[in-house]
Amino acid sequence: MRRSEEVSEMLQKAKDFVAKHKTALLVILCLLIVGIAYAVGRYSASEQAAAEQPAVMTQEQTQDVKALRTQLDISKSNAETLQRRLAEVQAGQRAPAATYYVQAPTVERAAQVVERQIKEDAPTLPRAVREKSDRTVVTPITKDANGKDLPPEEQKVDVYKINLRKDHRIKAGASVIDGKALMSIGYEQGRFEALAHFDGGRYKGVTVTYNIIEW
């Protein structure tokens, strides 16, 4: 019986401590979330730098969702979206941002030259090619929109600058409800988003949203 009383007393002390210092604890929690986000960001920065290196991919690979996921280290949804966009570009439905020429015996060799120039950030590259992006793909184009081989003089090298949709986001901000400002902390993944609202140290409620349409 005494053991039970001791446990109850400890729980009550813990509740009293939380009630008394709830604002400070909330601030510590927010700082902890920001710290974790910062640490994750720094860790992913080195990975991102490696991912930004150009990747040479064949036309067939750019139309294979699995190959895009593997070689570019991206999510399935990003790979599926990218595959559709690249198909539109290769079918001539989207105009290139820039065109330039390199000397090479074959289009495959030209792709390697372009890859090296991008890695070296060569000043001779067009500005559009030198811009920062999440991923860069270099593809020798040897077939037309119908899959037929192009004559050598019509073959070319495409450079795709790709900015990905980020799959995970931590948010902090403020909401005004009935004239009262509430602190909000949120998490977003894909189309799903959840926001927790606080009045000082008191939890006031949660908002959950889902993106129905995107364009």
pLDDT digits (tens, 9 = 90+) for 133-166: 889 999 999 998 888 998 988 889 999 998 887 6
Residue 155: both structure tokens together: 């073959």
Three-state DSSP state, 116: helix
pTM over 0.85: no
Looking at the structure, do residues 153 and 76 belong to the same domain, yes or no?
yes
Same domain, 61 and 22: no
Q: How far is residue 189's CA from residue 197's CA, in Å, rounded to a whole number?
A: 18
Residue 172 pLDDT > 90? no
CB atoms within 10 A of CB 30: 14
User: Distance between CA 67 and CA 49 in Å, rounded?
Assistant: 20
Q: How far apart are CA 44 and CA 201, in angstroms?
A: 32
Residue 91 CA to residue 59 CA, distance in Å, equals 11
Residues 59 and 155 in one domain: yes
Quick one: 56 and 142 in the same domain? yes
Lowest model confidence (mean pLDDT) among 32-36, 77-81, 95-99:
32-36
Res. 59: pLDDT tops 50: yes
How many whole angstroms separate alpha carbon 29 and alpha carbon 44?
22
Rounded-to-integer distance, Cα 47 and Cα 179, Å: 44
In a shared domain, residues 130 and 30: no
Provide the domain limits for residue 118: 52-162
Task: Say whether both 45 and 103 belong to one domain.
Answer: no
Alpha carbons 119 and 117: distance in angstroms, whole number: 5
Q: Are 199 and 205 in contact (CB under 8 A)?
A: no
Residues 70 and 115 in one domain: yes
Domain boundary among 162, 185, 200: 162
**Shared-domain flag, residues 95 and 148:** yes
Residue 171 has pLDDT above 50, yes or no: yes
Co-location of 199 and 122 in the same domain = no
In this structure, the answer to whether residues 105 and 58 fall within a common structural domain is: yes
> Do residues 95 and 119 share a domain?
yes
Q: Same domain, yes or no, for 59 and 30?
A: no
Better-scored residue on pLDDT, 36 or 101: 101
Give the number of domains in the chain.
Answer: 3
